[in-house]
Homo-oligomer: A and B are copies of this chain.
């Protein structure tokens, strides 16, 4: 595990096999693979689902955080005396409060203080209050007087590495030496090529912007802390709080009810989690602290933007000979990781000579956080446009060029084979289903509106999941089932998918299966949901637990009736014989089940294959229409062909594809964090009006999900690979390629805004 791919699994990775032996993969299935609505659909659409931001406790106070309004400043003095005396104010906390004098771990490599007098970005926490009402808390914040010494700032990584830039970290503006990865000999590779191209690309910073803002409710019962947090991983939050507050793990209970999205920005605790816990401690009252939309845009994560320079060589027959990629990006003001920009160049296509150099610079901005496929959409933006340019240069269909370079092994991992790779079939079958060849053959267009098609492909560095995970399945005497799983359903339908896995094994209707909330006290251990690893990590553990229940139940029945357990299976809340249709014992008639009332099965995630790599693959195709008068791009249709292993629930699978494409459309066409690079360094669009996310009107009605299932039985015992990230990786690049196909202009910078495109069209017109 290198430093750069450790975003969502910071702990030591497990190497241990699970305590139970692995069952054989499924053959045919009854429930798994069908299209089923979510088991919690009603709650979600009716508004009765309780999210952490809905939690109200008796006597609860409202917390709020005073944030630095400057991009870079030193706090010289904080005077909270007025605030402390205001009506309803129960606590005021600053950097001088003893209880709050804590190190804040941005990552394992970089700490600051919880209230750090050196504010390195707009929105750094300076003080906090708890009051009876949110309004009183807001008033109190305004009454705190802070004297700042405003410092010179850097708002762009290009400025950070320029000569004479203000030094914003003691160690300099670079986060360590450039990381270099190299195989083969790129000089030799370029020499062998018939065509060599070199291009620069730029990606804007993107904000996660989940529907539910970040925050929590914290309550102490004696020395035990309970936190309701909008999080992707309750056990990660538990570990952070236990560490910072010096509590045993069992004294920190983190409950993750429903949660309103995270996309990687809720994999870890925030300062708000610790601040709410401390405010609750000192006031002896529950404290709710949720950030405003503006705060979430400033402080809790972003997808790092990047400068990428890519040089590539290709022979006329389509053989790729060399890639050379250099990148510059920024994690903001702290070293929280901002890598993987080069992974696709290193691993997606067969290429013997690859050299990448990655530079990371600090700027005065909020910390980056893993965002749906960290680094990959940026890398795809460069690589997949380059592939199209290379194809054009050698007069080959770009899909064909990709097909010629599909690898069988992971070149970036020393040539280990993939357990399965559907990249070729994604390209072939996707192109066929999309009507790629026909769409490419269109005649030259004229007039204001011009149409074009584009494609792009990807893999995702992770997506295989892995141990540890421990889950419990309980079968009640009436045949209904409870699943206690520590993994959060972050909106993707995990609960529904896992219910189907249980249903498959126990023959119980998914409607009779309830999945408990992630809760450190009442569920077992799970890693955070993210990295497209939730389904491939948890579904084998859930299956293992269901099998443990089944084994016990069949043993009970075998003993009670004298039947051969090997001849028995479960179906329709009954034990049935595989061979004798007369033998059928409904659960209600199994007297030992009725006496015992519950059967408990514990399941574990078994180990991953040792000598193979588990990755998902994808190809996406789209058609766009460009208004050459305004520069507006309208996406007309999209097709995602995905090899993410076995489809467990076709409905939630397709929805992931559509959601990922939607996010990719935002990355490609509209989303951009705008910092005032010259005057203040402050974010100019920290709101959902100016920060433009795609709406229903920006998304085509014609979206197609085409699962490519190869029957991978090596990856794990359910055959599922990750889906959440690959669906968003190639999207923006496919759009850029389609825009080029439509108007002959290559847009190398995200987002493809009308003003940017109209400018390029004007230049092209002049040059043309």
Contact = CB atoms under 8 A, between A and B. Distances in A.
A476 interface: yes
Contacts of A49: 221
A477 B525 CA distance: 10
A520 to B, nearest CB: 8
A458 to B, nearest CB: 31
B478 A242 contact: yes
Nearest to A257: B221
A521 B516 contact: yes
Contact of A468 (B57, B223, B253, B595): B595
A470 interface: yes
Contacts of A513: 250
Interface string A30-60: 0000000000111100101110001111100
A523 interface: yes
Nearest to A521: B516
Interface stretch (A9-17, A105-113, A697-705): A9-17
B597 A468 contact: yes
Interface centre among A467, A594, A600 (most CB of B within 10 A): A600
B222 A48 contact: yes
Contacts of A153: none
Contacts of A476: 248-250
Contact of A50 (B50, B221, B516): B221
Interface in A559-617: 592, 594-598, 600, 602
Interface centre among A12, A470, A476, A519 (most CB of B within 10 A): A476
B480 A222 contact: no
A479 interface: yes
Contacts of A512: 248, 250
Nearest to A41: B222
A474 interface: yes
A48 B284 contact: yes
B472 A250 contact: no
A132 to B, nearest CB: 15
Contacts of A55: 58
Given A221-B48, A222-B42, A251 B480 contact: yes
B222 A43 contact: yes
Contact of A248 (B16, B54, B479, B600): B479
A142 interface: no
B600 A249 contact: no
A470 B42 contact: no
A552 interface: yes
A27 interface: no
Interface in A38-93: 40-43, 46, 48-50, 54-58
Contacts of A479: 248
Contact of A552 (B19, B249, B467): B19
A42 to B, nearest CB: 4
A727 B12 CA distance: 54
Interface string A463-491: 00001101010101111111010000000
A525 B222 contact: no
Contacts of A46: 222, 284
Contacts of A58: 50, 54-56
Nearest to A519: B522
A56 B602 CA distance: 34
B48 A250 contact: no
A514 interface: yes
Given A16-B595, A468-B596, A514 B521 contact: yes
Contacts of A302: none
Interface in A362-419: none
Nearest to A593: B16
A220 interface: yes
A235 interface: yes
A524 interface: yes
A4 interface: no
| Copies per complex of this chain | 2
Given A48-B220, A248-B480, A598 B284 contact: no
Contact of A481 (B224, B250, B253): B250
Contacts of A41: 222
A600 B592 CA distance: 24
A489 to B, nearest CB: 14
Contacts of A474: 524
B221 A598 contact: no
Nearest to A220: B48
A549 to B, nearest CB: 11
B15 A595 contact: yes
Given A250-B482, A470-B600, A519-B522, A595 B222 contact: no
A289 to B, nearest CB: 17
Contact of A592 (B16, B242, B595, B596): B16
Given A514-B521, A516-B521, A602-B602, A43 B250 contact: no
Interface in A513-539: 513-514, 516, 519, 521-525
A709 to B, nearest CB: 31
Contacts of A468: 595-598
Given A54-B58, A56-B57, A58-B54, A525 B597 contact: yes
A42 B19 CA distance: 38
Interface string A221-249: 11110000000000100000010000011
A540 to B, nearest CB: 15
Nearest to A596: B468
A250 B222 CA distance: 31
Contact of A598 (B516, B524, B552): B524
Nearest to A555: B19
Nearest to A226: B50
Interface in A670-712: none
Contacts of A524: 474, 598, 600
Nearest to A520: B482
A41 B224 CA distance: 12
Interface centre among A477, A524, A525, A597 (most CB of B within 10 A): A597
A204 B50 CA distance: 48
Contacts of A514: 224, 250-251, 253, 521
Contacts of A42: 222-223
A385 to B, nearest CB: 42
28 contacts: A12-B595, A13-B595, A14-B596, A16-B595, A41-B222, A43-B221, A46-B222, A48-B220, A55-B58, A56-B56, A242-B478, A248-B480, A250-B512, A250-B514, A467-B595, A468-B596, A468-B597, A468-B598, A470-B597, A470-B598, A470-B600, A472-B472, A472-B600, A482-B521, A516-B521, A516-B522, A521-B522, A522-B522
Given A15-B595, A40-B221, A468-B598, 20 more contacts: A12-B595, A19-B552, A42-B223, A48-B220, A48-B284, A50-B57, A56-B58, A224-B514, A248-B478, A248-B479, A248-B480, A249-B478, A249-B480, A250-B482, A467-B596, A468-B597, A472-B472, A484-B521, A514-B521, A522-B523
Question: 7 closest A-B pairs (Cβ-Cβ)?
Answer: A522-B522, A248-B480, A42-B222, A250-B480, A525-B598, A14-B595, A249-B476
